[in-house]
């Protein structure tokens, strides 16, 4: 009982206080720019958590996350053109993303290592060109390709979109904690270390990989729909862009892969870079790629790994997390 109380005081109570402060910012009159920064942080964090689940804990170097984001976003937007409520469109969009992950898992899971990464990289590119040609609904096309405005988005205030983003960020973090402390998490860790050894030990490698792949697609899809509620417009080139992949890799690698806190630090840096490099749109990806290489060379374990190795910072981390 004493240990539980100590953990509550040392970890959950401060965490609840931070969440409470974040939740009341919109009604406390926080500047709109603050809400925008935090909104993007929450969206990037939830997506990075899922990529960390796939790559950091499952050993799946999946590069098809833009496919889930784009499909969920298009499902949401097209649904509003057919009269579907936005909240229902969010759920259906996430289900479509998860169903697509289930569909492509059959061929891509036959690939291993770098071949799996290349195979998944092709998927969003193929979808991008398909949507550039396809006209899902009639009416006016906005911009190049099948670009559409989200109908009904005017009814959403910045505060409402902010709360949706906060909710999915918290849900992704909770999902990670539950998975990593379950038999699924232990099985994924053994698969990441050596999938053949795991299979010889009686672990159903395909099933566990499939679980993480579909869960990652579902949560990433919801985060994608929230982003497009905020943006109120979608078009193929940006929806299925490799830029999403770079965001997730940067947030996870810079923060610390295979750590629960890594995506938090990484997402903060990615949001900072998003606004800092906005004026350099032409070379944005080059700058981010260079930064990624530098980080992998200098601090391959990421910020969280560096903190855990450094004694003074490690003591603060242990105090903050009650470990």
Q: How far apart are CA 169 and CA 223, in angstroms?
A: 8
CA distances from 123 to 26, 66, 162, 231, 287 (A): 38, 9, 30, 24, 25
Residues 6+ apart with CB under 8 A from 287: 273, 277, 280
Q: 120-129: b or e for each residue (b if 16 or more CB lie within 10 Å)?
A: bbebbbebbe
pLDDT digits (tens, 9 = 90+) for 126-142: 999 888 887 766 555 55
- At residue 247, φ and ψ (nearest 5 deg) are -60, -45
Residues 6+ apart with CB under 8 A from 176: 49, 52, 53, 260
pLDDT digits (tens, 9 = 90+) for 195-227: 777 878 788 888 998 999 999 999 999 999 999
Q: 244-253: b or e for each residue (b if 16 or more CB lie within 10 Å)?
A: bbbbbbbbbb
Q: How far apart are CA 17 and CA 286, in angstroms?
A: 39
CA distances from 191 to 60, 121, 163, 218, 322 (A): 10, 22, 36, 22, 29
Instruction: Please give the pLDDT value at position 143.
Output: 45
CB 259 within 8 A of CB 300: no
Q: Which of 213, 226, 212 is nearest to 91 (CA)?
A: 226
CB 162 within 8 A of CB 35: yes
DSSP helix/strand/coil, 119: helix
CB 266 within 8 A of CB 256: yes
Give me the residues of the chain with pLDDT under 50, please: 1-2, 4-5, 7-8, 143-144, 316-317, 319-323
Helices (H), the chain: 2-7, 13-24, 32-51, 65-81, 86-108, 114-133, 158-180, 183-193, 195-200, 205-231, 236-239, 242-255, 262-276, 284-298, 302-309, 311-321
Instruction: Please give the pLDDT value at position 196.
Output: 79
Q: How far apart are CA 300 and CA 126, in angstroms?
A: 32
């Amino acid at each position: 009982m004493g240990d539980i109380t100590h953990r509550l005081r040392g970890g959950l109570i401060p965490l609840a206080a931070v969440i409470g402060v974040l939740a009341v910012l919109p009604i406390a009159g926080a500047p709109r720019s603050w809400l925008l920064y935090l909104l993007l942080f929450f969206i990037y964090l939830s997506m990075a958590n899922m990529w960390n689940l796939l790559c950091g804990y499952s050993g799946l170097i999946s590069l098809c996350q833009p496919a889930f984001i784009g499909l969920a976003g298009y499902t949401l937007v097209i649904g509003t053109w057919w009269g579907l409520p936005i909240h229902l469109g969010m759920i259906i969009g996430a289900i479509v993303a998860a169903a697509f992950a289930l569909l492509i898992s059959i061929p891509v899971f036959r690939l291993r290592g770098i071949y799996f990464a290349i195979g998944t990289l092709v998927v969003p590119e193929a979808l991008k060109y398909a949507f550039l040609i396809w006209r899902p609904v009639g009416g006016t096309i906005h911009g190049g390709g099948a670009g559409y405005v989200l109908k009904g988005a005017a009814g959403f205030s910045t505060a409402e979109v902010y709360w949706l983003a906060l909710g999915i960020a918290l849900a992704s973090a909770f999902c990670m904690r539950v998975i990593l402390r379950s038999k699924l998490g232990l099985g994924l860790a053994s698969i990441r270390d050596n999938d053949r050894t795991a299979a010889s030990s009686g672990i159903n490698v395909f099933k566990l990989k499939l679980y993480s792949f579909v869960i990652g697609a579902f949560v990433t899809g919801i985060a994608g729909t929230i982003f497009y509620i905020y943006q109120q417009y979608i078009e193929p080139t940006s929806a299925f862009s490799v830029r999403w992949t770079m965001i997730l890799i940067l947030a996870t690698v810079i923060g610390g892969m295979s750590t629960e806190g890594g995506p938090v630090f990484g997402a903060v840096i990615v949001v900072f870079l998003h606004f800092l490099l906005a004026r350099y749109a032409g070379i944005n990806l080059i700058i981010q790629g260079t930064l990624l290489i530098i980080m992998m060379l200098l601090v391959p374990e990421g910020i969280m790994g560096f903190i855990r190795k450094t004694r003074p910072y490690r003591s603060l981390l242990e105090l903050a997390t009650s470990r």
